[in-house]
Chains A and B, each alone.
Chain A
Amino acid sequence: MMEHKRLTLFAGHYGSGKTNIAVNYALYLAREGKKVCIADLDIVNPYFRTKDSAKVLEQAGIDLISPQYANSNVDLPALPAESYRLVRDKSVCGIMDIGGDDRGAYALGRFVPDILAENDYRMVFVANCCRPLTRTPEDALEIMREIEGACGLKFTCIVNNSNLAEETDAEVIIGSMDYINKLCKLSGLPLWLHTAERSVAETLPELNAPVLAMDLQEKYFALPEGGSKLCQR
């Protein structure tokens, strides 16, 4: 379905869905029989990390490089030296999950000379048109440029991860096409993939790029519907 590069780097706006895509793409490559290594380079958020999926990654035989303090509740943005393994070991398909916005992308900077020297990478901008700070293609382009400025690496393609969490249906994804096409035009970058939760992916018609069907984590604290009475007195 998708021709892969030796390295795939997922960056984008805070909360755009980078980690979910990185984990699902890693699982996809593993299913395709590839030797996969995924590195968590998020120096911004102490919550919602690649390590949350450690078990499923391990079961798929995927090598996870995670900061020592990930999921320890120690809010310390330190990256492990072994992150270099992913860049240097050319026998693996490497995936980097980079922290949100320009602040998160600073961490990528130190790997960029190696990445450019090898020149077999995809630098992916993850876009969700339903996020308020990337509501217009112009807003998304601004964040794109800020990230490129922070890490010193230009994006090479875009993933359309437009979603409204559990309210996502085919309509939401089809409704994002104008936005994503405009972002591609503005940035001069090709659209690489659309994403959708597996059950939604099955309902999608033929689109202008392949669809990565994703398995998402269980939602906690869901609310039973209806029956509530709001009172003010």
Chain B
Amino acid sequence: MAERVLMKGNEAIAEAAIRAGCRHYFGYPITPQTEIAAYMAKKMPKIGGVFLQAESEVASINMVYGAAAAGMRVMTSSSSPGISLKAEGLSYIAGSDVPALVVNVQRGGPGLGGIQPSQSDYFQATKGGGHGDYRMIVLAPASVQEMASLTIKGFNLADKYLMTSMILADGTIGQMMEPISFEDAEIETYEKPWALTGTNCERKHNIVNSLYLQPDELEKKNFERYERYKIVEENEQMWEEYMMEDAEICVVAFGIASRVAKNAVVAARKEGIKAGLIRPITLWPFPKKAMEAAADKVKHFISVELSMGQMIEDVRLYSGCKKPVTLCNRCGGMIPSPDQVLESIRQAQKGAC
């Protein structure tokens, strides 16, 4: 049996990053993700890595940009308000086509908000946040084990597609403790001939840059980038299906909301309601293939979120508005109860019958 350890979600991210070969961490403390930085501070000096607490979030994301340009596996982490501060750097990293891993352990917002869990940065993560045309691969863990496995996956995908992978977690999964193992981790490595590693006067120097003053050249860069994004959309959609074989009511939820939703699905089945769950694991690319298949089979979708309803727009979009979609939500740091989700399922069932 694989060796089991007891970890907090935040610690699992840090340990997984180290195992994935990350030796450069730049961050700035903010609740509820500070354990990531604390873990890195403890471990990096012992393994010849860099832990650096920058003077601000803006500084730390630009340090990530620099280390990424040098071909390093590099990461930063923060929580909602801190990610807003990093948005400019995220856009520069995208515009320079370098790989990085960014973690957002979300808390309630907007503004300074609170320190309790939230999923209200869905738009920010999947639709932009920074300026310009760009995408990030957005991974949504629903357990401490997935905090680890998706961190490793995130590094692999970032290197493969030369873009930022974002782990979009929340305060609950960041803080909760569960037993996990690291044995199955598949760590991929990629050549980085574009990296700024010094020429030794043996090759033409590389340039990493997001400034293109000639519009035709900038347009070409964007076209090329979107060709790459298209490949990601075609190949990297990930999701979990639960009791979807004969489902009439399809609950869609990610992260901590999916754990509540799963229990509600079990409760609904006990009442004879054919409920099922689709849990997007990649929020971008959104699991369009799962939604399209479900839209032809089910009678009703319910989007369960810790926000005022952000993912619901993608549920409607990717199910082609073929079936009604309703929202079941709490926000501001509150979490829906299984009973609240169950009641939404019952209401949907009434409408569907």
Contacts and interface: CB of A to CB of B under 8 A. Distances in A.
Interface of B: 4-8, 11, 15, 31-32, 35, 38-39, 42-43, 114-116, 143, 172, 175-179, 235-244, 256, 259-260, 262-263, 266, 281, 287, 289-290, 333
Contacts of B178: 165
Contacts of B244: 229
A33 interface: no
Contact of B6 (A46, A73, A128, A227): A128
A131 B42 CA distance: 14
A228 B258 CA distance: 12
Given A167-B179, A227-B243, 14 more contacts: A15-B6, A73-B114, A73-B116, A131-B5, A133-B11, A164-B4, A165-B178, A167-B4, A221-B256, A222-B259, A228-B241, A230-B240, A231-B290, A232-B237
B238 A230 contact: yes
B259 A221 contact: yes
Secondary structure class of chain A's binding surface, majority of residues? loop
Contacts of B263: 222-224
B271 to A, nearest CB: 15
Contacts of A167: 4, 179
Interface of A: 14-15, 46-48, 73, 75, 128, 130-133, 135, 163-167, 221-224, 227-233
A229 B263 CA distance: 16
A15 B179 CA distance: 13
A165 B6 CA distance: 7
B4 A227 contact: no
Nearest to A101: B38
B259 A165 contact: no
Given A167-B179, A231-B239, A232-B238, A131 B6 contact: yes
A228 B242 contact: yes
A47 B177 CA distance: 12
Query: Which of the listed residues B43, B176, B290 has the most CB atoms from chain A within 10 Å of its own CB?
Result: B176
A232 B137 CA distance: 14
Interface of B is mostly: mixed
A128 B242 CA distance: 35
Closest 8 CB pairs of A and B: A164-B179, A221-B259, A130-B6, A229-B241, A167-B179, A232-B238, A132-B5, A224-B266
A56 B3 CA distance: 35
Contacts of A132: 5, 7, 11, 15
Contacts of B35: 14
Contacts of B260: 221
Given A47-B32, A133-B42, A223-B143, A164 B242 contact: no
A139 to B, nearest CB: 10
16 contacts: A14-B38, A130-B5, A131-B5, A131-B7, A132-B7, A133-B11, A165-B179, A166-B179, A167-B4, A223-B259, A224-B263, A227-B242, A228-B241, A229-B241, A230-B281, A231-B240
Contacts of A166: 179
A24 to B, nearest CB: 17
A166 B15 CA distance: 21
Contacts of B38: 14
B177 A15 contact: yes
A224 B175 CA distance: 20
A221 B176 contact: yes
A153 to B, nearest CB: 22
B15 A46 contact: no
Contacts of B43: 133
Contacts of A75: 31, 115
A172 B39 CA distance: 25
B175 A223 contact: no
A42 B56 CA distance: 26
A75 B262 CA distance: 32
Given A46-B31, A167-B4, A233-B289, A133 B242 contact: no
Contacts of A221: 172, 176, 256, 259-260
A132 B179 CA distance: 11
B303 to A, nearest CB: 19
